[in-house]
Amino acid sequence: MAPLPPSAPSASFPTPARRLATWAGGLVLVGVVGVLAGCSDPAGPGGMENPFTQLECTVPDREIVSGGVPPDGIPSLEDPPFVGASHASLDYLRDEDRVIGLYLGGQAWAVPHNVGWWHEIVNMAVPGGPDLAVSYCPLTGSSLTFDRQVVGGASLGVSGLLFRNNLIMFDRTNDRSLWFQMARGSRCGTASGTPIPMVASWDLRWDAWREMHPDTRVVSGDLGMGRDYTRYPYGNYEQSSELLFNFAGVDDSRFVKERVLGVPEDDGGGVLFPFGALREVESDGVSVVRDVARGGDVVVFWDSRASGAMAYRPQAAGQGLTFQVEDGEIRDQETGSTWRLDGLAVAGPLAGDRLEPLADAFTAFWFAWRAFYPESRIWEGGG
């Protein structure tokens, strides 16, 4: 689990009154009234007392603030119904909406951002597979999928607290440890310092995922939760350069909410692949770049039509592969097989083979990646 850059001694949480004041100030800063509508249930932020205030943490207390709701004020989903890609309840999804895609045990799954805006965590059990927590933080644009085995299969909930604008989760076990989404592990409570394993997932447009996986299962829109999943509840947040909570060290050398694919490393570093840089080197809508991460070769596929990228180990069928773009398709030079964004060979001698995705590679906004992994190297093209 990557260490976060220290900026103050370890301490317990600030008082509820202090958190509430910080939250209110942050809302004025951003000027996005939709944040409240998106994050709070009718009960609102009224009962601000938080059961986690006495937990000891290994991050600075001043950087943990309230998002304006109590624990479970943003309700996570527990094994919601999944339906086929043409189901009537999916009328809330437009082609250009983004989804978190999973491929496990020969079955594709999709959790739309639309659902993540309102629930942030989807706890789901894959038949014959792991118990997962598919998480999306709207404030940092970060989508990460976790294996819940480390918490004994317990579901994860939304704590109502934020660290550097990012989701803090809690597990529903007796120790009530807190798990920081983009830090990929616990930073508060008895489990502090424990990493939580990730499962590979893709962050891309719905129409692209549906085309690659027409048999995908998708979170139904009929959840009985009283939410309008067609409505983005954060106003113009994704288009604005403002943050809900400003903090020291925000890198504004580019648009702070540009999406990037990042490959983290354990020393607070990693490699960032900005979507804009990948788009600049594309040919006929796709690009493929090679780099080194964690001491090994990594290949990144980008598809502009899907507005998505993913990192893989460049080998399949027991051999190393070198990729290039030819006639708008990604092909390996060794066999001439054709590959698509999700790492599947769709034509040629290796048809049906899959590249191994880097499970802990994930997509987030530029500012958030730089806040959590400040030593990251930025891929700027030419690789």
Least confident of 102-111, 120-129, 182-191, 290-299: 290-299
User: What pLDDT, on the 0 to 100 scale, is given for residue 265?
Assistant: 87
- On whether both 211 and 299 belong to a single domain, the answer is no
Residue 372 and residue 4 in contact, taking contact as beta carbons nearer than 8 Å: yes
Q: What is the DSSP letter of 224?
A: S
Give which of 376, 144, 124, 167 is closest to 273, Cα–Cα: 376
209/352 same-domain check: no
Q: What is the pLDDT of residues 311-347, one digit of tens each?
A: 999 999 999 999 999 999 999 999 999 999 999 999 9
| Claim to verify: residue 275 and residue 157 sit in the same structural domain | no
Residues 155 and 264 in one domain: no
State which of 216, 248, 280 marks the end of a domain: 248
Residue 305 maps to a domain: yes
Domain co-membership, 155 together with 282 = no
Could you tell me how far CA 266 lies from the centroid of its own chain?
A: 18
Concatenate the DSSP letters of all residues of 256-287 into one string.
TT-EEEEEE-TTS-EEEEEHHHHHHT-BTTEE
What pLDDT was estimated at residue 348?
98
Mean pLDDT across 108-128: 97
pLDDT at 7 over 80: no
For residues 81 and 114, membership in a common domain is answered with: yes
| Average pLDDT score over residue span 303-313 | 98
The separation between the first and the last C-alpha atoms of the chain, rounded to the nearest angstrom, is: 27
Domain of 313?
A: 259-378
- Residue 61's pLDDT is 83
Residue 39 has pLDDT above 50, yes or no: no
Residue 254 lies in a domain: no
200 and 56 part of one domain: yes
Task: Show which of 214, 248, 282 is a domain's final residue.
Answer: 248
Q: Do 126 and 239 fall into the same domain?
A: yes
User: Which of 260, 324, 320, 248 shows the shortest CA–CA distance to 286?
Assistant: 324
Which one of 221, 248, 275 terminates a domain?
Answer: 248
Longest Cα–Cα distance in the chain: 64
For residue 69, the one-letter residue type is: V
pLDDT at 12: 36
- Tally of CB atoms within 10 A around 10: 14
> Is residue 55 a part of any domain in this protein?
yes
Whether 311 and 218 share a structural domain: no
Question: Is residue 96 predicted with pLDDT exceeding 70?
Answer: yes
pLDDT, one tens digit per residue, over 154-206 is 999 999 999 999 999 999 887 689 999 999 999 999 999 999 999 999 999 99
Same domain, 240 and 351: no
The number of domains in the chain is 2
Q: Dihedral of CA 21/229/303/312: which sign?
A: positive
Contact between 348 and 331 (Cβ < 8 Å): yes
Q: Which of 269, 267, 340, 348 is nearest to 310 (CA)?
A: 340
Q: Is the same domain home to 233 and 269?
A: no
Residue 17's pLDDT band (cuts 50, 70, 90): very low
Is 92 a domain residue? yes
- Is 253 a member of any domain? no
| Residue 321, domain CATH | 2.102.10
Q: Is the pLDDT of residue 104 over 50?
A: yes
pLDDT in tens, 46-84: 344 677 878 899 998 888 999 889 999 999 999 999 999
Express as a percent the part of the chain with pLDDT over 90.
74
Domain annotation covers residue 28:
yes
Q: What is the mean pLDDT of residues 276-293?
A: 94
User: Where residue 33 falls among pLDDT bands split at 50, 70, 90?
Assistant: very low
Q: Which two tokens stand for residue 196?
A: 């939580």
Please check whether residue 100 is in contact with residue 111, taking contact to mean a CB–CB distance below 8 angstroms: yes
In a domain, 383, yes or no: no
Q: Are residues 186 and 215 in the same domain?
A: yes
